[in-house]
Structures are given as C-alpha cells and as structure tokens.
Structure 1
C-alpha cells in the first residue's frame, strides 16, 4: 500500500502555524500581525509573509482594513450567532438527506471515536475531531458545491470551537454522546430526531459562547439535555 504524503508550501506551513497559535489562544483577538514580524520570525521574504497573512484574512481568521495592520479577528455575540445559524441551515438539510438514505459516514464515526479518546486530554486537541465530525457528515452527501459552501464557514466555526472548548463551556462527554446519538438516528432513518438533536447541540454552544463574549444568553444555553445527561 502506498502511503499518502501531503506537501505543504511555505505559505501553507506559515498560515497553519499562525492559525494554530490563534486557536490555542497564544495570539488573542485584536493582536496585530505585521508582514515584517512574520517575515523575521519565519525567515522568509516579505512577499511570502504577506501571502500567509492574506490567506488568513481570506479565511476570516485575521481581519485587515485598507492600509491597516492585520489583526486577529474579534468575534462578538452577533457574529457567533450568525456563524452558528449559517452552519445549522446547511447541516440540518444534510442530516435530512443522510437519514433518508440511512447513511452513517465512516469518517464521522472515526472522528467521534477520536473525539472521545482526546476528550480528557486537551481542549485544543479535540477541536480537530469535533470539526471533522461535522465536515464528514456534509462531505458524505457527495455534493461538491455543498461541501465547498460549508468550507467557507470552517475557519470561523473553528474559531468558535476553540473558544467553546478553551473556556470549557460544554462538557466533551455530552458533545460526544450527542454526536453518537445523531449517528444512531441517521442509521434509523429518523430525520426529525437527528435535526432536533443537532439544533440542541449547536444551540447550547452558540448561546453559551455568546454569553461568554458579553451577550445575553438565549434559553438554549440552559435547556436540559434531551439525552438526560448532566452538563
């Protein structure tokens, strides 16, 4: 069997490293990131540093106004709600289609197993499998444009997940159980049950994060788990 090797460009590698620092909270919202700083730090040309910064600006991980220094994006309650609701619209329809076909994606099962394994290890480490679980569901639909649309949200969703997990707003054990139950309902062809649980799953995190960022939490923040689990 031939091993798959992924080759990253210098721009990709720098962007990945900076993105991970932002997700870990080493670069915090509002922190500036200049081309000169990135160029010196990674010993690369200014053009390469600029390309890495622009990559993160395009992903909405950094923001830059005209002729201004790029800064780590600062999400507020309204932005968080907008991001979560946009993903909910897409994911709910995906679940309906998967339930109709009783499709349980192997990649989603594997991602949730990895999530469970890392749940007690590191809040940063579980961001990846959490995001992978949801992207695996979308990709299982087999619609290239739907997957492409969802990926325009991934960087902003990941920023939200970093805050949810970093602030320990929802117990990983509950998230894992909800992931598993969503898959069970897909297997049973229960589209309504799967989408209702998704709404609960996303709504709880959305409203708790909105409150943590200075907003007023909606009722979803304190709604008891329909699975009867403590949170």
Structure 2
C-alpha cells in the first residue's frame, strides 16, 4: 500500500515521505552525490510528484540535500571542510550550554541516563553507541531550556548523523571510553566549573572530528 492510499492528507503525506527519505539518507542507504528527482522519489514511495517535490524541498531546507540552478537535488556529500565546520559549530553551542548549566550546577537527567545506557553496552566499538551519544549531547542543550537553541542544535545534528552515515561508522571509540569522557564533563558541571567542562567537551569533540576527517580521507 502506498502512502497516498492511507488518507493522510497532503501535509501528512509530505511529512511521511520527508521522514522516510531523511531516515534512509541518515542511515547511509542513499549515498552522497545521489540525485533525487521528483520522479525517483515519487516512484520510491508511491506518491504523487507534487508530494515528492515538497518532501525534497524540505530536505534541501534542512541541509541534507543540495540543489544548484537547473539541477536535480542531490544528497550532500561530506568532505573534511564540512566535518570541521559541523563539529566546531557543535562545540560553540554545547560549550555555551555547559557554562550555563555549571553556573547553577545542574546536570540534565537526560544526559546522565544516556551515559548510563552507554556504560551498559558490550565492550568494543559499535555503531550502537551513536544514538545514546547524540542523546547525551542533545540533553546538554535541552538542559538550558531554550527552544530556539534546541532547534538550532537539532539542525546541526542531522549533519552530524550524515557525516557518521557516510563513513559507515568507522573510527568509533569503545562505548566505555566515550562514557568516561562524558562523565568527566558532567562532573565538572556538577561542581560549577564551566570552563573545565567546556575544555573537556572541546577535546572530546575535536577527537571525534579528527577521526571523521581521517575516515573521509580514506
């Protein structure tokens, strides 16, 4: 049964196609540089071309697809420059959030829960660490209770996931190592040392940035 057959309404159909297409891109099922025409998306999901076009435009707006003049939209292909910009943007946003949290010595429960989940994982690098890792960092941003900052951060996270998807999870660290670095950051927040928390975060993200840049180069 196609999406059109489910009586979702035009907006519901577009949103459903957008979610499915986004999920396939972020899972690495659709490679970088892949052209996504209205006809291709229409056939892929069994929807009318206007719905396919609207879904494509939503993903262009979110940064997962790129369109140049008179050309089909294509999946963004990551390169070292993009990786560095994405991670430095993360560092700026998260460092500011950590300083605010440390000023009131507040450790977000969501960050602690995500880190505890990582500690329960089996030893060794695994793509399964990606989701709790990103939930940890998202919880830091959400902890300052700024709707706009959270919205900005989530737009960056799509590009982070895209980077990870296109290198197929290479260069991942052991879950225990990541969780240990996270714990140090939270400890600094808990004692009110915002500068220390920001320094630890910068080192943590810089390490991830370098591993991704190396993987892209391969």
**Scaled by the length of structure 2, what TM-score is found?**
0.85
Q: Which runs of 5+ in 2 are unaligned?
A: 1-7
Q: Which runs of 5+ in 1 are unaligned?
A: 1-6, 216-231
Q: What is the DSSP-based 3-state SS (H/G/I as helix, E as strand, rest coil) of the residue aligned with 2:74?
A: strand
* Contact residue 107 and residue 189 of structure 2 kept, 8 A: yes
Q: 2-side partners of 1:51 and 1:119: how far apart?
A: 42
Match of 1:219 in 2: none
Q: What is the DSSP-based 3-state SS (H/G/I as helix, E as strand, rest coil) of the residue aligned with 1:71?
A: strand
Q: Does 1:110 align with 2:93?
A: no
Q: 1-side partners of 2:204 and 2:149: how far apart?
A: 21
Please list the CA deviations of residues 145-199 of structure 1 after superposition, one character each: whole Å capped at 9, or x if unmatched.
Answer: 3223323322112222435671133333221221222112211212122111101
Match of 1:154 in 2: 157
Match of 2:64 among 61, 66, 77: 61
Q: What's the Cα RMSD here? A: 2.5
Q: Relative to 1, partners in 2 of residues 1:61 and 1:175: Cα closer, same or farther, differing over 3 Å?
A: same
Q: What is the DSSP-based 3-state SS (H/G/I as helix, E as strand, rest coil) of the residue aligned with 1:110?
A: helix
Q: Relative to 1, partners in 2 of residues 1:119 and 1:20: Cα closer, same or farther, differing over 3 Å?
A: farther
Q: Does 1:214 align with 2:217?
A: yes
Match of 2:5 in 1: none
Match of 1:31 in 2: 34
Please list the CA deviations of residues 82-116 of structure 1 after superposition, one character each: whole Å capped at 9, or x if unmatched.
Answer: 11111111111110110111101111122223344
Match of 1:178 among 176, 181, 191: 181
**Scaled by the length of structure 1, what TM-score is found?**
0.80
Q: Does 1:101 align with 2:92?
A: no
1 or 2 for the larger relative contact order (CA 8 Å, sep ≥6)?
2
* Contact residue 171 and residue 215 of structure 2 kept, 8 A: no
Q: 2-side partners of 1:191 and 1:169: how far apart?
A: 27
Match of 1:221 in 2: none
Q: Relative to 1, partners in 2 of residues 1:10 and 1:114: Cα closer, same or farther, differing over 3 Å?
A: farther
Q: 2-side partners of 1:29 and 1:139: how far apart?
A: 30
Question: How many residues are aligned here?
Answer: 209
Q: Where has structure 1 moved over 3 Å in runs of 4 or more?
A: 114-126, 161-165
Deviation at 1:50, TM superposition (A): 1.1
Match of 2:4 in 1: none
Match of 1:128 in 2: 131
Q: 2-side partners of 1:65 and 1:145: how far apart?
A: 29
* Contact residue 119 and residue 176 of structure 2 kept, 8 A: yes
Q: Does 1:89 align with 2:68?
A: no
Deviation at 1:39, TM superposition (A): 0.9
Q: 1-side partners of 2:184 and 2:66: how far apart?
A: 37
Moved more, 198-207 or 109-118: 109-118
